[in-house]
């Protein structure tokens, strides 16, 4: 597994390549869940026909910014349980921010029909209590 | 199967659904003056996915469609028409194969002995905005037709990669509806659910609520759709939404599993979960009924 690491807004961000299924973010504690708290930035790449990572873990109350890239199609990134969605635009970086205000395991998916294995483009947002 | 008798009790027994919200649902045409009157029925076949190829889910892809077509042709009371409500083919990234599958499906469907109407699903139309579909079927992606006093409206929520109707089509719908009387019975035919059924599995039309809002002033509105590969009934206000079983493969019932799942073939019960629907509308304005038919 190849992991590229870089610092972004105080958060350690791992951009996974080649079959990574999860990443964990270790950021200093901030005043989470408030509108002006700095968001935890999480990179997600959508591509035919997968997400990297496929699993995103955050803590309940955190303000989260998904930094979305989508090199080969206008894939969707949708987390219906949080009413969050964005279109990934090839060549651009798209950001969408939300507060993970409930704990649980929530599906995210590509909601733009992108080809033969479109249905496989799903992942999980795991929001833990602590 | 005895297709003469569409009683509510039959349907309830077959569907195993109590407290039917749709028993009085399909609008009758007693109140309409124009057009031919009379009882009639039509058949909904959906999610054929011609070209589908997972034998663990359906080892008899060709036979399944053949059986469904033969069953429709054998109905004692012939339906006035059959409508295929999308996903005629399994999607492919190859435009040539897409056209080939559409043509093969079209040839198969020509064995029906009643008039046939078609429209596309996302598997047919999303990757090329309906180009291949229009080439083969030479029709519109969205259209209306009137049959014995009922206005049928075909809505396209599949020819954009996003599950939307789009502003242009919503304006078209609005314009068409302004010409209709408030008591005009309406049947909407579409592929995806118009309401937000389960966006976690991509079972929704993002701007579908706008169409529902436009339809709300009409007293008799029923929506028939496919896409979800199992029978489902839902109301938004007085508007009824009925999903039919698929012809090719069944999907797990809404929200029953973490992931949307194609249900495996059961050798002991071949074709389980597959089916089609007939709908009877009566001009008396009294009973109108759906019947869910199994394949096999
Ligand atoms: Cu996609």
The percent of residues above 70 in pLDDT, for chain B, comes to: 85
Q: CA dist B168 to B32, B138, B145, B157, B224, Å?
A: 29, 20, 19, 12, 22
* Residues A81, B259: C-beta atoms closer than 8 Å: no
Indicate the pTM of the whole model. Answer: 0.84
Give the pLDDT confidence score for residue B10 in this predicted structure.
Answer: 36
Determine the Cα–Cα distance for residues A103 and A84; give it in Å rounded to an integer.
16
CATH number of residue B15's parent domain = 3.60.21.10
Give the pLDDT confidence score for residue B262 in this predicted structure.
Answer: 97
Q: By the 8 A CB rule, do B133 and B98 touch?
A: no
Determine the Cα–Cα distance for residues A3 and B59; give it in Å rounded to an integer.
42
Instruction: List per-residue pLDDT tens for chain A, 130 residues long.
Output: 233 333 333 232 333 333 333 333 333 334 445 556 789 999 999 999 999 999 999 999 999 999 999 999 999 999 999 999 999 999 999 999 999 999 999 999 999 999 999 999 999 999 999 8
Q: Where are the domains of chain A?
A: 11-29+39-128
Q: CA dist A50 to A45, A53, A70, A92, B235, Å?
A: 8, 9, 10, 18, 35
Q: What is the DSSP secondary structure assignment for residue B131, as one 8-state letter? A: H
Give the gap in angstroms from C-alpha B51 to the nearest C-alpha of chain A: 12
Give the gap in angstroms from C-alpha A51 to the nearest C-alpha of chain B: 15
Query: CB atoms < 10 A from the CB of A49, how many?
Result: 18
Which residues from B are below 8 Å from A86, CB to CB?
A: none
Helix boundaries (H) for A28-113 = none
Give the pLDDT confidence score for residue B283 in this predicted structure.
Answer: 54
Number of residues that make up chain B: 296
Q: By the 8 A CB rule, do B64 and B296 touch?
A: no
Give the mean pLDDT of B259-269: 96
Give the pLDDT confidence score for residue A30 in this predicted structure.
Answer: 42
Two tokens, residue B19 = 């407290």
- List B residues 235-274 in contact with A (Cβ-Cβ < 8 A): 258-260
Identify the band that residue B289 occupies on the pLDDT scale cut at 50, 70 and 90.
confident
- What is the domain count for chain B? 1
Q: CA dist B186 to B34, B83, B85, B164, Å?
A: 14, 16, 16, 21
Determine the Cα–Cα distance for residues A128 and A90; give it in Å rounded to an integer.
32
Please tell me the class of the A11-29+39-128 domain: mainly beta
Least Cα distance to B225 among B290, B135, B295 occurs for B290
pLDDT at B278 over 60: yes
Give the pLDDT confidence score for residue B255 in this predicted structure.
Answer: 87
Two tokens, residue B132 = 């291949």
Which residues from A are below 8 Å from B91, CB to CB?
A: 113, 115-116, 118
Q: Chain A residue with minimal CA distance to B196?
A: A80
Give the mean pLDDT of B54-58: 97
3-state class of A10 per DSSP? coil
């Amino acid at each position: 597994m190849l992991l590229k690491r870089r610092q972004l807004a105080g958060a350690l961000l791992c951009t996974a390549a080649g079959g990574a299924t999860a990443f964990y973010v270790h950021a200093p504690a901030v005043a989470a869940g408030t509108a002006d708290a700095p968001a935890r930035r999480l990179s997600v790449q959508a591509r035919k026909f997968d997400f990297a990572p496929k699993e995103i873990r955050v803590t309940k109350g955190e303000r989260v910014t998904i930094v979305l890239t989508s090199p080969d199609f206008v894939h969707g990134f949708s987390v219906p349980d949080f009413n969050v969605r964005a279109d990934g635009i090839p060549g651009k970086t798209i950001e969408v921010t939300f507060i993970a205000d409930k704990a649980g395991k929530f599906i995210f998916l590509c909601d733009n029909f992108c080809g033969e294995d479109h249905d496989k483009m799903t992942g999980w947002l795991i929001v833990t209590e602590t | 199967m005895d297709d003469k008798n569409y009683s509510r009790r039959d349907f309830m027994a077959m569907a195993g659904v109590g407290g039917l919200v749709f028993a009085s649902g399909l609008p009758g045409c007693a109140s309409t003056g124009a057009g031919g009157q009379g009882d009639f029925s039509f058949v909904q076949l959906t999610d054929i996915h011609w070209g589908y190829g997972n034998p663990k889910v359906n080892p008899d892809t060709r036979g399944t469609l053949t059986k469904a077509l033969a069953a429709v042709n054998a109905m004692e009371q012939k339906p006035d028409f059959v409508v295929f409500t999308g996903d005629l083919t399994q999607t492919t990234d190859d435009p040539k194969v897409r056209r080939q599958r559409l043509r093969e499906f079209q040839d198969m469907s020509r064995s029906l002995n009643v008039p046939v109407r078609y429209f596309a699903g996302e598997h047919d139309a999303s990757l090329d905005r309906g180009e291949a579909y229009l080439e083969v079927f030479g029709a519109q992606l969205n259209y209306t037709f009137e049959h014995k006093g009922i206005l049928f409206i075909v809505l396209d929520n599949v020819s954009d990669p996003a599950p939307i109707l789009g502003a242009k089509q919503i304006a078209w719908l609005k314009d068409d509806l302004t010409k209709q009387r408030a008591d005009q019975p309406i049947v909407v035919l579409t592929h995806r659910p118009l309401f937000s059924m389960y966006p976690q599995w991509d079972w929704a039309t993002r701007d579908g609520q706008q169409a529902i809002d436009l339809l709300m002033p009409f007293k008799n509105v029923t929506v028939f759709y496919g896409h979800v590969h199992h029978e489902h009934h839902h109301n938004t206000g007085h508007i009824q939404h009925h999903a039919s079983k698929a012809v090719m493969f069944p999907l797990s019932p809404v929200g029953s599993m973490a992931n949307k799942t194609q249900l495996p073939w059961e050798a002991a019960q071949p074709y389980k979960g597959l089916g089609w629907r007939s709908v009877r509308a009566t001009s008396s304005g009294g009973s109108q009924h759906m019947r869910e038919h199994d394949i096999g």
